A and B are shown apart, each in its own frame.
Chain A
Amino acid sequence: MNALLQVVLVVWVNLRTVPQRLGASLAAMVGVAGVVAVMVAVLSIGEGFRQTLATTGDDATVIVLRGGTDTEMNSVLTLDSTRIIADAPGILRVDGAPVASSELFVIVDLAKKATGTDANVPLRGVQELAFEVRPRVRIVAGRRFEPGRNEVIVGIGAVEAFSGLDIGNELKFGNGIWTVVGHFSAAGTLPESELWADAKVVGPAYMRGEIFQSVYARLESAEAFQPFKDALTSDPRLDVKVEREAEYYAGQSRYITVLVQTLGLLVAVVMGLGALFGAFNTMYSAVAARTREIATLRAIGFGAGPVVISVLAESLLLASVGAVVGAAGAYVAFNGFRAATINWDTFSQVTFGFAVTPELMLLGIVYALILGTIGGLFPAIRAARLPVATALRAL
C-alpha cells in the first residue's frame, strides 16, 4: 500500500471519530474561536482609526503650518502670511482665485452620547473655498452655513457621537449662539468628526483676531508639491512647514495605532497560550481515546507517519473551524462599529469605525493554524510512539 493512500485512510478514519469526542473537540474549537475573535476585534480598532486618518489626505492637497509645529492646534499664522501662501505658485486657480482656505482649529465642549461626559469636539473655522479644497465634503442634510453668520455645519460622525447636533439646534460657545444648519459627509474621513463654521465669525468668538492656524490648498497636480514647498520655505517673509495632507494625517494616527497594536498583540499572545493548553488537553485525550485503534493500525502495517499526520489533521481541523467562526464572529460583531476617541496630536475627538479587514481575518486564521499545529504535534508524537503490544492490551 503506498504511503499517500495510508495517510488518506488513517486521516479519514480519525476524522470520522471526531463526533464521538464532541465535548472536548467543541471546547478546543471555542478556545481557538475566542482567541481569533478577540485578536481580530482589538486590532480592528487600530486599523479603523488608522484608515480614517490615512484616507483623509489627498496627494494634491497641502497643509501649511508655522515652522516647528506639528499640529494645527499649536500653529499660528498671521493674515499676511496666509495671503503670501495663497499666492504661491502651484496652487490650483478657479476663475483666477487660488483654491485655498485659511483655517482656525479650536475646541468646543460637547457631551459624548456614549458616556454623557464632556468631550473636546473640534470646531474648524473655514473660508469659502474650503469645499473646493476638500471635494469629498458633501452636504447630506440641510444647507451650508452662510458667510458672516453664527451658523455651523456638522460632520455625520460627530452628529452620531455627540449630543445636541441635530439641524435647527442651538449651541452656545464663544460669545454667541450658533445654529446647526446642515450635516455633511466626507467619505469616511476625518472632517466627519468636525464642526465647521465661517472663519470670519469663529475668529472673533475665540478672540483670535486676525490670526489663523493653517492654510489648506489644492495644487494643480500632485507633482506641483515640491516647487510649491520650495517656494514657501525659501521665502524670507515666512517661517512655515509644508506637508502633503496625506502625510500630515498619517503621522497623527501613529500613537494610537502603535498603542492598540502593542496591546492587541500582547493580549493575543497570552490568550493564544491559554488556547494552546486547552488544545493539548483535547488532543492528548483524543489520542488516549484512540489508543487501541492506533495500535491496531500499527499492528496491521500502517506506518508512524500517517498516524502523526492523522492527529495533526484533527488538530488543524478543529483550529481552522474555530478560527473561521472566530473571525466571522468578529466581523459580524465589530466591522463598522462606530466609536470616538481622542486624537492626542490635536487634543480633540475623532470618530471612526472599527475595520475588520480581510488581512486581519487572515492574520487571525494563520495564527490559529500555528496554534493548531503546535497543539497537535506533541500529542501526535506520543501517538506514534505508543508501544503496540501494550497499547493493544489497553482498556
Chain B
Amino acid sequence: MKYLHLIWRSLMRKKLRTTMTVLSIGVAFVLFALLAAIRLAFSMGVDIVGADRLIMIHKVSIIQLLPISYLEQLRRTDGVVDATHATWFGAIYQEPKNFFPQFPVEPEAYLRLYPEIVIPEEQKAAWFADRTGAMVGRKTAERFGWKIGDRIPLQAPVWRNKTSGSAWEFTIRAIYEGREKGFDETNMFFHYDYFDEARFFGEGLVGWYILRIDDPQRAAEIAERIDAQFANSRYETKTTTEKAFLQAFADQVGNIGAMLTAILTAVFFTILLVAGNTMAQSVRERISELAVLKTLGFSNRLVLALVLAESVVLAGVGGALGLAIGGLLVKALGSSGQIANLLSVFYLPPKDVLIGSALAVALGLVCGALPAFRAMRLRIADGLRRT
C-alpha cells in the first residue's frame, strides 16, 4: 500500500497521456457493456428460463396446430405435474410497425406455469372475471400509454372473428411485470375460451403446449414418452425443454454470440495495442528513474510489480469508468426510443459486469507485462548512462 503514492505519481507524470489512455480503455468497456446487452437481447431469455418446463409443438413446425384434446392426456401423463397451452394470435395494433406478441391462453393455468409473471391480486381477479379482458406487459402498456380499463382494438389477419371479421376488441384488466429482470414484458394474454368461441375457423386447435415436469433430470425421458404417445396420430408432436426450444429459436436469428465475440476480440486487440504502446513508451521515458529506484535498493521484483501495478490501475480505472458509462447508456437505450422498440429485453446483466471487471484486470496485466519485464531486467549502469 505504501507504494500507492509512487504509482499515482508515475501515472500523473503525463496527465494528458494517462487521461487519453484511460478514456480509450474506457470506450472499449462501454462497448463491452453494449454488446453484452445486445447478446442478452438476442438470447430470448434462455438464461433465466425454468428447467422444469417442456414445450410441445407439432412435429413438422410450430405453425401447425395441435388439438385441445391433448391437454387431458398430457395432464394424466406420468411425470407431468401441470400443463397448459398457448396460440400465436399475430394481430396488429393500428399499424404493422406497432408489433407486439399476443396469445390466447387459459389464464389460471398459464399463471400457474409461469410464476415469473407478477400481477397484483385484484388485477388478477378482474382479468379472470372478464371474458374479453387482457393482461399486457408493462413495457407494451408504457409504449402505447395503456391503462387498466382501456379498450384496445386489434386487427387479426389470420384469426377472423365470426361476427366482426378481422376486428377484435379487448379490455385491459391487468398489467404484469417480470419477477426477474430480463423476463419479456411486451406480451399480451387473453382468454382462450373467448378466442375459441369467436374465431371463424380452427375451433379446438391450439399452437403449442407448455408442461411442468416433476424432475428436470428426467426431461429427455418424459419428452420421448410424450412424443411416443402421439406418434402415428394425425397430429404428431415434438417435445423439448423450454431452454432448448428457446435456444433453437435464438439460433434462428443467427449466431449472434459468435459475431459479437468477433467484434469484441477486434476491439480488445486494438485497445491492447494502444494501451500497451502507451505503457511501453512511459517506461522507456523513465528508464533513468527506474535505475535510480534500483540504486536506492528497490529489488528487481518490486520494480516489476510497480510497473505492472501501474498498468493494472490504468486498465482498472478505464474499465470501471467504461462499465459505469456503458451501464448508464444501456439503461437509457433500453427505456425508450428505437432500440427499446426493436428489442424486447435490453439490460446489462450483473454477470457481465463481473466478466468485464476481470477482463480489465487481465488487460492491465497483459499490457504491462512486457514493459514490466524490461524494467525488471534493467541493469543500473545501463539505465543511468542513458539520458
Q: Report A's interface with B, CB cutoff 8 A.
A: 23-24, 26-28, 30-31, 34-35, 37-38, 41-42, 66, 68-70, 73-76, 106-109, 112, 114-115, 117-120, 173-174, 206, 255, 258-259, 262-263, 266-267, 270-271, 273-275, 277-278, 280-281, 284-285, 339-342, 347, 349
Contact = CB atoms under 8 A, between A and B. Distances in A.
Nearest to B278: A281
B31 A255 contact: no
B270 A275 contact: yes
Given A119-B251, A281-B17, A31 B270 contact: yes
5 contacts: A23-B277, A27-B276, A114-B255, A115-B251, A284-B16
Interface centre among A74, A277, A340 (most CB of B within 10 A): A277
B217 interface: no
Contacts of A66: 157
B27 interface: yes
A266 B267 contact: no
Contacts of B24: 31, 274-275, 277-278, 281
Given A38-B263, A68-B157, A108 B61 contact: yes
A210 B21 CA distance: 69
Contact of A274 (B16, B27, B248, B255): B27
Kindly state the interface size class of chain B when it binds its partner: 35 or more
A68 B166 contact: yes
B interface majority secondary structure:
helix
B380 interface: no
A74 B281 CA distance: 64
Q: Which 6 A-B pairs have the closest CB atoms?
A: A274-B27, A277-B24, A34-B270, A117-B248, A278-B274, A27-B277
B31 A117 contact: no
Interface of B: 16-17, 20-21, 23-24, 27-28, 30-31, 34-35, 38, 59-64, 90, 96, 155, 157-158, 166, 238, 244, 247-248, 251-255, 263, 266-267, 269-271, 273-274, 276-278, 280-281, 338-339, 342-343
Contacts of A37: 266
Contacts of A117: 244, 247-248, 251-252
A107 B273 contact: no
A278 B263 CA distance: 18
A73 B96 CA distance: 14
A73 B238 CA distance: 22
Given A107-B61, A117-B251, A281 B267 contact: no
B21 A109 contact: no
A115 B42 CA distance: 15
B13 to A, nearest CB: 13
B21 A281 contact: yes
A277 B27 contact: yes
B16 A69 contact: no
A75 B270 contact: no
Given A23-B280, A263-B38, A119 B252 contact: yes
A183 B271 CA distance: 46
Given A115-B255, A270-B34, A349-B252, A106 B61 contact: yes
A120 B263 contact: no
A120 B31 contact: no
Contact of A119 (B155, B248, B278): B248
A278 B339 CA distance: 29
B248 to A, nearest CB: 4
B266 A34 contact: yes
Given A28-B274, A277-B23, 5 more contacts: A34-B269, A114-B255, A258-B338, A274-B31, A274-B274
Given A68-B155, A107-B61, A34 B267 contact: yes
B31 A270 contact: yes
B20 A280 contact: yes
Nearest to A382: B16
Given A281-B21, A284-B16, A341-B252, A109 B61 contact: yes
Contact of B277 (A24, A41, A70): A24
A342 B255 CA distance: 11
Nearest to A45: B259
Nearest to B339: A262
Contacts of A70: 96, 157
A112 B64 contact: no
B253 A341 contact: yes
Nearest to B31: A270
A287 to B, nearest CB: 11
Contacts of B96: 70
B236 to A, nearest CB: 9
Nearest to A277: B24
Contacts of A76: 158
B20 A278 contact: yes
A273 B20 contact: no
A341 B244 CA distance: 18
Given A107-B61, A120-B252, A274 B273 contact: no
